[in-house]
A = this chain, B = another copy of it.
Amino acid sequence: MIEPNSRHPDATSLHKGLPETGNRLLADVSLPAAVIHEAALAHNLAWMQRFCEAHGARLAPHGKTTMTPALFHRQLQAGAWGITLATAAQCRAAFAHGVRRLLMANQLVGEANMAIVAGLIEAGADFYCVVDSAENVRQLGRYFAARGLCLQVLIELGVDGARCGCRGQNEVMALGELVESEQALVLSGLEGFEGVVHGDDQESQVRGYAWQLVEAAQALDHDGLIENPHPLITASGSVWYDLVAEVFLEAGLGSHFVPVLRPGCYVVHDHGIYRSAQHAVLGRRPGIDQGLRPALEVYAQVVSLPEPGLAILGLGKRDIGHDQMPEPLRRHREGGSIGDIRSVAGWRITKLMDQHAFVTLPHDERDEPRHDPVRVGDIVALGISHPCLTFDKWRRLCRVDERLEVIEVMETCF
């Protein structure tokens, strides 16, 4: 049953979640589909840019969240200084789509990955990565010297018991001296990630860690180990960015160091862990106007109502992050008007399989139709938690306007 001569199709038309018969999300799009709401997106882009500028910091949004070049372009157009990435392959994808300044907030390990980065530097990328071990510094020094290239590196300061990074300022200074001894490496500042700080009073721990970053950066500078004339000091994920920004501002680092913040999830925000985190930001900073808005939703259809109190949706772990269960937000009738919103009060997703979600309904929606019974084919909008692990389930996302018309199909490059 193979047709060996079948024409290899245009890959752009083979994905899930695409407009098929028109641009109306509620009528023409193959569901499930990942949807970005333009109004909330535009709000978030401007909001975070304004926040960073108000704190004298540059914004290098973490691109690993979305890996969506069209969103990188929107972030850069809004004023971002560069894009942060997690791996060499991600950096290559971003560069190929026009991003010139790449902050790889991770170690560059393995000669194949070094070869990718060497190619980017040769092609004109302004590239930075982090180091935290003598072994890796020697590997990088050897590789880039052999290629006749200079590599800009930041030393990572970590947290005891957490992820990567030098443990304490002494290790930072020793590594700084080793970097200085490698001709091909240009020490360009200090990097950290406060998202791995743990403990009882996280807020004060994060502040304390941000001050450690400041002190280590100043010590490297004081000892003349930083070679880059415009060195970076960079930290911050999407949870504690306000505290990091405050400390960098208070420390008055902006006169010499370039303070760079790296939140990623803000761009589409969520209905889960980052909504809670943003509530905390607004609680700490009552002067800030409004918050971020959830822009990413996944739309799916009811495919079965097999017994009272149970609906099965045609969406699963293949389509949506499952660190936390998605949250039903609204229901529409297929082909209906966007104003015709139906209730999902009491709906609860209780189980996700690869391609199915189980919804417990608050009472019998099938056998005792009330004013608004659920039907097979009904469309449910779902809120997500942790956008990184929803984006990577999609090769294409639909950007929609307030009428739920698809105005752009956005490609991801995971």
A residues touching B (Cβ–Cβ < 8 Å)?
1-4, 6, 8-9, 11, 14-21, 27-31, 64, 73, 76-77, 80-82, 86-90, 92-93, 96-101, 106-107, 109-113, 115-116, 126, 132-133, 135-136, 139, 158, 160-161, 163-167, 301-307, 312, 314, 317-318, 334-335, 353-356, 358, 375-377, 388-389, 392-393, 395, 413-414
Contact = CB atoms under 8 A, between A and B. Distances in A.
Contact of A76 (B1, B132, B334, B377): B1
A376 B312 contact: no
A303 B98 contact: no
Contact of A376 (B8, B27, B136, B414): B136
A349 B51 CA distance: 38
A413 B133 CA distance: 38
A353 B350 CA distance: 24
Contacts of A96: 6, 8-9, 14
A101 to B, nearest CB: 5
A88 to B, nearest CB: 6
A90 B319 CA distance: 13
Contact of A109 (B89, B132, B301): B301
Contact of A112 (B29, B82, B106, B413): B29
Contacts of A389: 317-318, 354
A68 to B, nearest CB: 14
A231 to B, nearest CB: 18
13 contacts: A1-B82, A1-B101, A3-B98, A14-B413, A21-B111, A64-B318, A64-B355, A107-B376, A110-B377, A133-B306, A135-B376, A139-B377, A165-B306
A87 B355 contact: yes
A11 B396 CA distance: 14
A389 to B, nearest CB: 6
Contacts of A80: 1
A110 to B, nearest CB: 5
A88 B3 contact: no
A109 B167 contact: no
A127 to B, nearest CB: 12
A312 B6 contact: no
